[in-house]
Amino acid sequence: MSDALLEITDLTRTFGGGRSLLGAARPGVQAVQGVNLQVLRGETLGIVGESGCGKSTLARMLVGLDTPSSGLIRFGGEDLQAMRRLDRHALSRRIQYVFQDPLSSLNPRMRIRDILAAPLKHLRGLSGRALDTRIAELLEVVNLRPEFVTRYPHEFSGGQAQRIGIARALAAEPEVLVLDEPVSALDVSVQAQVLKLLRRLKAEFDLTYLFISHDLSVVETISQRIAVMYFGRVVEEAPTRQLFSEPAHPYTRLLLGSAPVPGGPPIIAESTAAELPDPLDPPPGCAFAPRCHKAREACREAPPVLESLSTHAHRAACLYPERGPWQASASTTATPGAP
């Protein structure tokens, strides 16, 4: 695959760990474990998972806000860590980030002008008249009125604030935008506005998106491919349509079955109160095995690797992947997790 813009190989991030004062080894929490992913130029890759699955940690490593414990990220063929060391700004010029909480990502004591000017000055070297022109352009691009430049963040609604966040990311003229739950904090009516804007910008500026969300239906509308994460690992990866029509990993099926659709079929729920494994004491095998109705001995021995299924593009990390089409209503009776 020559047109991979981002290549992530065996990426792992461990928090904590090391040794305590008394010399005992402390367990570390593996937020991201051995993730392999490729992001193609011009595509939108959706990353879906519930809280604690490591999706945000992954995103932060991609933009250089966090450093991997091991593994490699290549950006356009270059090692991202080397790029960061060489020139901190080079990376920020090519890959930018949009935050989840639009208000807390804007400094309450700075005017919009100053917020947008920072990347233009430091990353693009603009000043004077050119700077002002560019700020006005950026506001126009995200459908905000030019007079907003003199206002402070608290004067904006969540949707407007998120547009400012997007404008700031665009100011660096990046190739890739990492969108970390960009619409989760917004009401549905505003969420739709922002999604629409994101779609337009992608076409207008030839962007590549990495769209992170816990909300399957949002990811579905915007992504070409989707990777599902569970407990720090990618458990399934497929083109969007394929993932929704033939989900292979039992976790993906659970996720799909759990999402309530307005006027849709009844959701599937696990009958027991299932939980994530203890991150300080993870199970040796598949992290989903304790919740999985198909789990057998082999699942509990070693974590399964991501392997291609029917097509090369569809991969799942499961020893006994589900086959065949999936329909929410069809599986209502198949309540997993029976004792």
Partner 1 sequence: MMAFVTLLARNRLAAFGGILLLTLVLLALVTPLLPLLEPNATNPANRLQPPLSEGHWLGTDQLGRDILSRLLWGLRVSLAVGIAASLVAAFVGSLIGLVAGYFGGRTDNTLMRGIDMLMAFPYILLALAIVAVLGPGLLNALYAIAIVNIPFFARNIRGATVSIAHREFVDAARLSGKGDLRILVTEILPNVLPVIVITLSTTVGWMILETAGLSFLGLGAQPPQADLGSMLGEGRRMIINAPHVATLPGLAIFLLVMSINLLGDGVRDALDPRLKSGALSRPAPMTRIRRRRHTAVDDDLNAPGQDPALLEVDDLHTDFEVGRDTYRAVNGVSFTLKPNECLGLVGESGSGKSVTALSLLGLVASPPGLISGGQVHFQGRDLLDMGIRELRKVRGNRVAYVFQDPLSTLHPLIRVGDQLVEALRTHQPLSRQAAHQRAVELLGQVRIPNPTRRAAQYPHELSGGMRQRVGIAMALANDPQLIIADEPTTALDVTVQAQILDLLKRLREEQGTAVLFITHDFGVVSQICDRVAVMYAGRIVEMGPTQDLLANPRHPYTRRLIDCVPRLGEPDNEPAAIPGLPPAANALPPGCAFADRCDLVEPRCREGDIALIASDANRQVRCIKPLADHTVIGAAHV
Chain positions 87 to 106 lying near partner 1, rule: CB under 8 A, are 88-89, 92, 96-97, 99-101, 104-106
Q: Check residue 110 for interaction with partner 1 (CB under 8 A).
A: yes
Q: Check residue 131 for interaction with partner 1 (CB under 8 A).
A: no
d(CA 213, CA 55): 8
Min CB(10)–partner 1 separation in Å: 25
Q: Check residue 213 for interaction with partner 1 (CB under 8 A).
A: no
Most distant CA atoms of the chain, gap in Å: 69
- Are 296 and 286 in contact by the 8 Å Cβ rule? The answer is no
Q: Check residue 184 for interaction with partner 1 (CB under 8 A).
A: no
Q: Check residue 332 for interaction with partner 1 (CB under 8 A).
A: no
Q: Which one of the spans 1-9, 128-136, 273-281, 311-319 is the region binding partner 1 (CB under 8 A)? A: 273-281
Listed residue (234, 231, 214) closest to 317, CA to CA: 234
Q: Which one of the spans 27-35, 77-85, 256-264, 279-287 is the region binding partner 1 (CB under 8 A)? A: 256-264
Q: Check residue 191 for interaction with partner 1 (CB under 8 A).
A: yes
Q: Check residue 108 for interaction with partner 1 (CB under 8 A).
A: yes
Dump the DSSP string for 257-298.
Answer: HHS--TT-PPPP--SS---PPPTTS--SS-TTGGG-TT--GG
CA angle 267, 290, 329 (to 5 degrees): 20
Listed residue (231, 232, 228, 230) closest to 220, CA to CA: 228
Q: How many residues bind partner 1 (CB under 8 A)?
A: 76
Q: Check residue 72 for interaction with partner 1 (CB under 8 A).
A: no
d(CA 54, CA 107): 26
User: 209: left (phi > 0), else alpha (psi -120 to 50), else beta?
Assistant: beta
**Candidate residues 214, 283, 301, 331; the one interacting with partner 1 per rule CB under 8 A:** 214
- Are 95 and 147 in contact by the 8 Å Cβ rule? The answer is no
**Candidate residues 82, 86, 267, 313; the one interacting with partner 1 per rule CB under 8 A:** 267
Q: Check residue 157 for interaction with partner 1 (CB under 8 A).
A: yes
Q: Check residue 78 for interaction with partner 1 (CB under 8 A).
A: no
Q: Which one of the spans 34-42, 70-78, 260-268, 300-308 is the region binding partner 1 (CB under 8 A)? A: 260-268
**Candidate residues 147, 275, 281, 297; the one interacting with partner 1 per rule CB under 8 A:** 275
d(CA 10, CA 70): 7
- Footprint (CB under 8 A) of partner 1, residues 12-71: 50-51, 60, 63-65
Q: Check residue 193 for interaction with partner 1 (CB under 8 A).
A: yes
**Nearer to partner 1 (CB atom), residue 70 or residue 217:** 217
d(CA 293, CA 338): 7
Q: Check residue 259 for interaction with partner 1 (CB under 8 A).
A: yes
Q: Check residue 262 for interaction with partner 1 (CB under 8 A).
A: yes
- Are 211 and 47 in contact by the 8 Å Cβ rule? The answer is yes
Q: Which two tokens stand for residue 205?
A: 């500026």
Q: Check residue 294 for interaction with partner 1 (CB under 8 A).
A: no
